[in-house]
Amino acid sequence: MSSITTVFQFEIRYNHILNFSQIARKILSPYVRLADSISIDKQNTIEERIILDFAEDNYKITVSWDRIIINGQGELNVYTNNNSPIETPFFNILESIKKLDEFGSILNILFVSNQINKIKIKENKLTNNFLSKTINDNVCDILEKTTDASIILQNKDTYSEQTITFGPYFGLIDLNRRPLKPININSLGDLDFNGSFSEYKYYKSISKVKFDDFIKIVKDSNDIINKLWKVL
């Protein structure tokens, strides 16, 4: 079984647009008719957020005074195709925002994706199997019994940061306690199995961003996750 991307989030942050609630509807009106539903959070305040829900295609776009966010799930490579939801409407909306007189500049981007991978192993042996492959015996013996574990790897410099957190996966109970949850969990199939879990984060301070940047981030993410599954 190949790995499953249960959810991903890609956000582009920019300088605050103080009158966003007054101008947002005009910007988003061409896209409202494309969405299955729309909701507004903190309406008529500085921090107003408009959520376009494309439920049929399992993704959401959130636009606010300081960032634009897309959440999706499933095969990441689908989102790197031309005319994918990332290219249209996500980047199209960003371009409309950038044309505003009130727009300052892009500040940074953040990409997060969660993946799970099935392992044929009993639940009571899952943690020990993970520990035996990743941590030495001295660490394993610190607690009398270790029922769960995770490892964080980080690569950080002045302008960017990569973080990957991984550990055993104990089925739906694990997904339900994650802050980033699937858009439509039922469309992902059977997720109630034992295996490995990973969360990959990529942050970069950047003033320009385009669709090709997202494509590269996904490629790098896939390469790292594939290396991880080979270890686990």
What per-residue confidence (pLDDT) applies to 85?
96
| Beta pairing, strands 151-156 & 67-72 | unpaired
If pLDDT is split at 50, 70 and 90, which confidence band does 126 have? very high
Please report, rounded to a whole number, the percentage of residues in the chain having pLDDT higher than 90.
89
Judge whether 11 and 60 are in contact, CB under 8 Å. Answer: no
What residues does CATH 3.30.310 cover in the chain?
Answer: 4-109
Residue 155: how many other CB atoms lie within 10 Å? 11
Task: Indicate if the pLDDT at residue 136 is higher than 90.
Answer: no
The 3-state secondary structure of 6-72 reads EEEEEEEEECCCCCHHHHHHHHHHHHHCCCCEEEEECCCCCCCEEEEEEHHHCEEEEEECCEEEEEE
Residues 65-122: pLDDT tens digits? 999 999 999 999 999 999 999 999 999 999 999 999 999 999 999 999 999 999 999 9
What is the 3 state secondary structure string of 70-95? EEECCCHHHHHCCCCCHHHHHHHHHH
Q: Which residues contact 186 (CB under 8 A, 6 or more apart)?
A: none
For residue 144, give both structure tokens. 């009398």
Which two tokens mark 13?
């942050």
Question: In a 3-state reduction of DSSP, which class is residue 204?
Answer: strand
168, containing H or E segment: strand 160-169
Q: What is the average pLDDT value for the chain, to the nearest integer?
A: 94
User: At residue 229, does pLDDT exceed 80?
Assistant: yes
The whole-angstrom separation of Cα 45 and Cα 16 is 13
Q: What per-residue confidence (pLDDT) applies to 138?
A: 82
CATH code matching the domain that covers 4-109, chosen among 2.60.40, 2.40.128, 3.30.310, 3.30.1400: 3.30.310
At 137-176, the pLDDT tens digits run: 888 889 988 999 999 999 999 999 999 999 999 999 999 8
